[in-house]
Amino acid sequence: MRKKPTTYFSAVQYRTIDFISCQDFQGQNVISVNFGNLITILQELDSLWQRDFERQYIELEELGRGRHGVVRRCQEILSGEEVAVKFVNRRRQGRARTRREYELMRRLHHPNAARASGLFLTATSDAIVMKL
């Protein structure tokens, strides 16, 4: 029997919940919660996102900056392998766009392009891990 992946929710508990309803929102599962006049939408984060970046990688140096974030050279703790990690500022680029960018980079096979190997949530940003 296949085990169901762990599900994460992003939310802030405010007060007593009047009702909860599930619906489809741009291809993602969401939950709409009504707190009287306050309606909060909780987007389900699929199992593609990992949360333990700080336990798996050590940041070494900055490689470059761009409009949406910064790229740093990092080292995987267990294997010692060096990777490039793009840290995307959540205020400048949403999670859906970061996820699409990761999926495109993961499928890309070209000798002059870095291939994505992981997608992480950190305390302040989203991170795309790329092979060097």
Domain ranges of the chain: 8-45, 53-131
CA distance 96 to 99: 5
pLDDT for res 132? 85
Rounded to whole angstroms, what are the CA distances from 132 to 10, 16, 92, 111? 32, 49, 25, 11
pLDDT for res 126? 95
Tokens matching residue 76: 């995987």
Are 114 and 73 in contact, with CB atoms under 8 Å apart? Answer: no
pLDDT band at 105 (very low <50, low <70, confident <90, very high): very high
Is 103's pLDDT higher than 70? Answer: yes
pLDDT band at 46 (very low <50, low <70, confident <90, very high): low
What integer is the mean pLDDT of 69-96?
95
**Can you spell out the DSSP letters for the chain?**
-PPPPP-EE-----S---EEEEEEETTEEEEEEEETTEEEEEEEE-TT-BS-HHHHEEEEEEEEE-SSEEEEEEEETTT--EEEEEEEETTTS-HHHHHHHHHHHHH---TTS--EEEEEE-SSEEEEEEE-
Model confidence, pTM = 0.66
What integer is the mean pLDDT of 51-78?
95
pLDDT band at 93 (very low <50, low <70, confident <90, very high): very high
pLDDT for res 10? 45
What integer is the mean pLDDT of 115-128?
93
Q: Can you name the CATH fold of 53-131?
A: Phosphorylase Kinase; domain 1 (3.30.200)
Edge to edge, the sheet with strand 82-89 lists: 57-65, 69-76, 82-89, 125-131, 116-121
Is 78's pLDDT higher than 50? Answer: yes
Is 25's pLDDT higher than 70? Answer: no
pLDDT for res 18? 43
pLDDT for res 48? 84
Handedness of CA 31, 32, 34, 35 (dihedral sign): positive
